Every structure is written in structure tokens, then in C-alpha cells.
Amino acid sequence: MQLTDKHREYWNRNLRLTAVLLGIWFVVTFVVIWFAKELNDIVIAGFPFAFYMGAQGALIIYVLVIWFYARRMNQLDLEYGVHEGED
């Protein structure tokens, strides 16, 4: 089966979205860990920042990242006509 340009564009947009979301995942996880000692000097509502990110903040962002990916991709499927039949 020959893919059309539209199909390729869909896949490229998927790759871009994946890369951006992976970037967010990387920053909230590894960049925060790397600078944990420095970031812990910032205290918000009793929580040192890096501690808060590890315990809750990063988790909330992970949930949001996955939610956004599912929503956006399901939209793109429709936009590019590659969505599944309702079966």
C-alpha cells in the first residue's frame, strides 16, 4: 500500500508531538533531579521544590502529558482520516 503525503504529514506531526512531550518528561524528571540540591532551597507551602516535584509535581505532569497525547492524537486521527471505524 502506497502512503500519501497526507499520511506522511500525520506521522511527522505525531513524531513532533512525541518529541515535545518526551522533552517535558525529560525536564521534569532528569533536569530537576540533576539540580535537586539547588532547587530544594526554594520552599513553597512547606515543600522544598525538588522534593515536591519528585513526590507529586512530576507525577501530575506525567498524567497530564499522557492525557494530552491521547486527546491530541485522537484529534489528529480524525483530521487526517486515519481514525478507526467505530467497531
Partner 1 sequence: MASATSSNAAFFNQLKKYYTWYTGGFVAFVILVAILEQMGVPNKILGYIFLAATIALYAGIGIMSKTADVSEYYVAGRRVPALFNGMATGADWMSAASFIGMAGTLYLTGYDGLAFVMGWTGGYVLVALFLAPYLRKFGQFTIPDFLGARYGGHVPRTLGVIAAIICSFTYVIAQIYGVGLITARFTGLEFAVGVYVGLAGILVCSFLGGMRAVTWTQVAQYIILIVAYMIPVVWLSVSITGNPIPQIAYGQALQGVTAKEKELNDPTTVLGAAEASVRALHKEKQLEWEGKIKTLDDAVAAGSGAAFLAEQKATAQAKLDELKAAPEPDAKKIAAAEKDIKEFPADAAALKAKWKKAAAGAKAKTGAVAAHATAFAGKGAEKKLMKENPAATPEEIAKAKAEDTKASNTKRLNFIALVLCLMVGTASLPHILMRYYTTPSVRDARKSVFWSLFFIFLLYFTAPALAVLAKYEVYHHLVGSSFANLPAWVSNWSAVDATLMKIVDMNKDGLIQLAEITIGGDLIVLATPEIAGLPYVISGLVAAGGLAAALSTADGLLLTIANALSHDIYYKMVDPNASTVRRLAVSKGLLLVVALLAAYVTSLKPGDILFLVGAAFSLAASAFFPSLVLGVFWKRANYLGAVLGMIAGLGVCMYYMFITYDFFGGVAANEWFGIKPISAGIFGMPAGFLGVIIGSLISPAPSKEIQELVDHVRYPSLPSDINTNAA
- Residues of this chain that bind partner 1 (CB under 8 A): 1, 3, 7, 10-11, 14, 18, 21-22, 25, 29-30, 33-34, 36-37, 40, 45-48, 50-51, 54-56, 58-60, 62-63, 65-67, 69-70, 73-74, 77, 82-87
Q: Minimum distance from CB of 32 to partner 1 (Å)?
A: 9
Q: Minimum distance from CB of 4 to partner 1 (Å)?
A: 9
Q: In this structure, which amino acid lies at residue 13?
A: R
From start to end of 1-87, where are the E strands?
43-44, 47-48
CA distances 6 to 11, 67, 76, 81, Å, are 9, 25, 11, 9
Cβ proximity to partner 1: between 5 and 22 the closer is 22
Q: Minimum distance from CB of 5 to partner 1 (Å)?
A: 14
* CA 64/CA 60 separation, integer angstroms: 6
Cβ proximity to partner 1: between 5 and 86 the closer is 86
CB neighbourhood size of 27 (10 A)? 12
